Structure 1
Amino acid sequence: MLARFKLDGFLTALLLVVLAAILWPEGGVTGGPLRVEWVASYGISIVFFLYGLTLAPERMRQGLAKWRVHIVVQLGTFALFPLVMLACGPLLRPLLPPDAWLGFFYLAALPSTVSSSVAMTSLARGNVPVAIFNATLSAFLGIFVTPILMAWFMETTGVSMPLESVIVKILLLVLLPTVLGQIAHRWLAEWTVRNAGWLKFCDRAVILAIVYNSTSDSIVGGIWSANDPWLVVTMTVISIALFFVIYELMRVPCKLLGFNREDTIACLFCGSKKSLATGVPLGHVIFGATPALGLILAPLMIFHFFQLVIVSVIANRYAQGAEAEAGASA
């Protein structure tokens, strides 16, 4: 099933980690025997250092010229998503506990995913340099834009957020490691390519540790037991519906601006997806070690899974269409 949809084993690992938290939350809880929170706390800097280390500036330059596509993608990621979520607020708030509703807006405020957006754009025969540029730019902008959006949203909903301390954490744990990684890229570019597999493993291991820790804290703290068991189903339906709403709305500017097939694919795939790799460690910085973090991150984890499944199907259809067109013109 995963191979058919071009999905890697990270999704399986993510599901297993959540299952482990359900079966043995004491192991991953803060202060528990495994001390997972140490990895969750200090590993954040490792994730963003590796992000800076693997960021190739020359790839960014390849897609720079398509400025109209870039504007559409970034507005879709950081403006359309939050606006749609706010517009749906009157309908969704009665269905969700406050922390889950906060999680959905956090999902909407996050940057686009990098690796899967590029991979799916390539599979669909889209404009890969444009996808690389936009996914990378989105991830970098998210370091600043996401906390600002969350500070505004939480203030409007009456939830306090210590913005100054969050900014300090982001500068020290997120921005500084990213900059150091980008500086190190000058000397370690070839080493990074040779060891891409291990670097990816380290990056994802930290993300899984944060998920295990936050989910365990939520279970031990009684966050999940205090809510209806159908909450997961509700969040799943909302996540799938949200993806299709954004995906279809992104088609509108693509048609109005006359984007070609390749640019449209890159725009749709980058503008409709959200990054778990950025969202999980950044969420730990923004929200801290609250027991509700597991519930706040739940919409992101659900959306991440289904966005990959849905976009994989769409990308395969685009690829089949491109092959058919190539065969007809041959």
Structure 2
Amino acid sequence: MKFRPDNFTLMLVAVVLLASFLPATGDVASVLEKVTTAAVALLFFLHGAKLSRKAVLDGIMHWRLHLFIVLSTFALFPLLGWLLKPVLTPLVSPQIYVGVMFLCVLPSTVQSSIAFVSMARGNIPAAICSASASTLLGVFITPLLVSIFVTEHGASGSFVDAVVKILLQLMLPFALGHLLQRWVGPFIKAHGKLTKVVDQGSILLVVYTAFSAAVVQGIWRQVSVGTLVGLLVICATILALALFLTTFLSRRLGFDKEDEITAVFCGSKKSLVSGVPMAKVLFASSTVGMMVLPLMLFHQMQLMVCAVLAARYAKRAELIEGEAVAASAAK
């Protein structure tokens, strides 16, 4: 498995560089802000239209596994971030570590979690259910956790205000998309690239506008090469602990291998697709760049590490199947 950035990560880097040298200001920034808000609304509309009720119902009965993943996502991660704060904050700065805490309170990914569970031969229906539920629960849980861990560092408004903003800007388009699924769903499924373009395009727009505002506020005077290295160490530490603990605890709870795979990949990942729009809604424009920087680094790191881990799980499954076939043939 090659450790190399994917094309989307390279585009993210390019957008950050563009914002660093040519930040949007004045009227251009105002127009981009409105365009970005519309793109994010379209993104969640399309995801709502794609949501399969049958897939969710197929996996919803496995409540112990789903509860484990929810607790891993919204309790284990924030606890790790909070406990490690005295040790890890000196590697960066208190302001940057706030972005780390924001990373820790985000929901799990959907697409990549399901893809890795499928690749590793885990419980795919349960993964679909858990990943979808994590995104929906994050609408309420993430603002609550932000109000506990992050409010004093740039989050705007109260918990209620944050939930209302997310409901209006993210969940309302999502709900409309789901309600109109009967009419728009077939078109969206037939044009899968459309969702990908909107996915990536909306995130790139948010990142560009966020980093433009951050550059104007002097982000690169606060983030040195040493700080970036320290942030990479922090992300690697949190990811390694999350992977170890989800694996260890799922085995202690007696999950079979398929459920363990689902628990590990759904319970150890954080969503860039949800996190960037949430940061835009929850934080002042001047602080969004700082909030999403740890998430961007963690995103690429989790993809590379989980790809290797999924390949190992798949290889183990192939070996077991081969042994079973050989044993059957010997009878």
TM-score, normalised by the number of residues in structure 1:
0.92
Contact preservation (8 Å) 1:223, 1:292: no
Aligned to 1:19: 17
Q: Kindly indicate whether residue 324 of structure 2 is the aligned counterpart of residue 329 of structure 1.
A: yes
- Counterparts of 1:1-330 in structure 2 under 5 Å? 4=2, 9-25=7-23, 28-29=24-25, 31-32=27-28, 35-155=31-151, 157=152, 161-163=156-158, 164-289=160-285, 291-330=286-325
SS at match of 1:230: helix
Aligned-pair distance for 1:254? 0.9
SS at match of 2:225: coil
In structure 2, what residue type is equivalent to 1:231? T
Higher helix share: 2
Structure 1, unaligned runs of 5 or more: none
Q: Aligned pair in 2 of structure 1 residues 131, 158: CA closer, same or farther (>3 Å)?
A: closer
Aligned-pair distance for 1:159? 5.7
In structure 1, what residue type is equivalent to 2:309? I
Aligned-pair distance for 1:115? 0.2
Count of residue pairs brought into register by the alignment: 324
Contact preservation (8 Å) 1:112, 1:139: yes
Q: Percent identity, aligned pairs only?
A: 38
Contact preservation (8 Å) 1:215, 1:293: yes
In structure 1, what residue type is equivalent to 2:234? I
Distance in 1 (alpha carbons) for counterparts of 2:26 and 2:71: 38
Q: Aligned pair in 2 of structure 1 residues 82, 283: CA closer, same or farther (>3 Å)?
A: same
1:145-194 CA-to-partner distances (Å, cap 9, x unmatched) read 00011012235x57664124333321210121111111011322221210
In structure 2, what residue type is equivalent to 1:321? R
In structure 1, what residue type is equivalent to 2:296? M
1:232-255 CA-to-partner distances (Å, cap 9, x unmatched) read 111111101110101111123211
Structure 2, unaligned runs of 5 or more: 326-331
Q: Aligned pair in 2 of structure 1 residues 51, 29: CA closer, same or farther (>3 Å)?
A: farther
Aligned-pair distance for 1:119? 0.4
Please say which of residues 294-303 and 47-56 is displaced more in the overlay.
Answer: 47-56
Contact preservation (8 Å) 2:50, 2:185: yes
In structure 2, what residue type is equivalent to 1:20? L
Q: Aligned pair in 2 of structure 1 residues 323, 158: CA closer, same or farther (>3 Å)?
A: closer
Q: Aligned pair in 2 of structure 1 residues 5, 136: CA closer, same or farther (>3 Å)?
A: farther
Contact preservation (8 Å) 2:207, 2:276: yes
Aligned-pair distance for 1:133? 0.7
SS at match of 1:32: helix
Please say which of residues 291-300 and 7-16 is displaced more in the overlay.
Answer: 7-16
1:273-317 CA-to-partner distances (Å, cap 9, x unmatched) read 00000000111000032x221111100000001000000011111
In structure 2, what residue type is equivalent to 1:302? L
Aligned-pair distance for 1:228? 3.2
Distance in 1 (alpha carbons) for counterparts of 2:26 and 2:91: 30
Contact preservation (8 Å) 2:139, 2:166: yes
RMSD over equivalenced CA pairs, Å: 2.0
In structure 2, what residue type is equivalent to 1:320? K
